[in-house]
Amino acid sequence: MDKTWLKSMYTECGLEPQEVGPAVDATLKRLLRRERPDGAEGPKRPLIEALVRDPLVSMNRIIGRGDGGLPFIDDDETRLNVAAFGHVLGESGLDPVVAMAYAKVVAEAYAPRDLYQPIWQALGQSGPVDLQVLRQLDWTPLRDRFPELRGLHIDVTAVTQAVVPVKPKAQPPGGRRPRPTPKDGD
């Protein structure tokens, strides 16, 4: 998998040649890490986040239903997320207002399947991209192709250490604990 589809996407949307490279790198990093910017994924779920150490693992992946969302896609999956593209373009050095203008162009010109088709094929899949299946696939082999992302493996021990068995407390014979006797003056 190379970065040409992202380069052509940003070039066709009007970014200057010197802006394309940083935008492509930031976008690819966010895609492969499956990061969604703050506010783009909806309300936070602190309990689920507390259950695991690795941000790539979510409760849905643990139970086999895939992640709650893919980066750059609105939750309704019908279009690309303008805020997510605006955020990554702003990180790439563009003025925030200009970044949002380009993000609107990208979101209107491309569909989620256009963005994820090369990733789908790089993961060994054929035919048109299925976003539901894509959520459930292991992206680790794809991340391994990029040296800056090699350390992003899912920590399996985080899942096993998140479950702590609770043992019931031992009770005295008879099944009831005696009530404490009140002290003088109580």
Render pLDDT for 142-164 as a digit per residue (tens, 0 to 9): 877 877 665 544 433 333 334 44
Q: Is the dihedral of CA 3, 6, 7, 8 positive or negative?
A: positive
What span, in angstroms and rounded, lies between the C-alpha atoms of 116 and 28? 11
Question: 128 CB contacts (<8 Å, ≥6 apart)?
Answer: 113, 117
Q: Residue 67 sits in which domain range? A: 4-161
**CB atoms inside a 10 Å sphere around CB 14:** 12
What span, in angstroms and rounded, lies between the C-alpha atoms of 33 and 79? 20
Specify the pLDDT at position 185.
Answer: 58
Domain count, the chain: 1
What span, in angstroms and rounded, lies between the C-alpha atoms of 182 and 166? 31
Chain segment 107-132, per-residue pLDDT in tens? 999 999 999 999 999 999 999 999 88
Query: Looking at the domain assignment, is residue 19 inside a domain?
Result: yes
DSSP assignment string, 29-66? HHHHHT---TTTS-S--HHHHHH-SSTT--HHHHTTS-
Q: What is the pTM of this model?
A: 0.64
User: Is the pLDDT confidence value at 23 over 60?
Assistant: yes
Query: Looking at the domain assignment, is residue 25 inside a domain?
Result: yes
Query: Looking at the domain assignment, is residue 99 inside a domain?
Result: yes
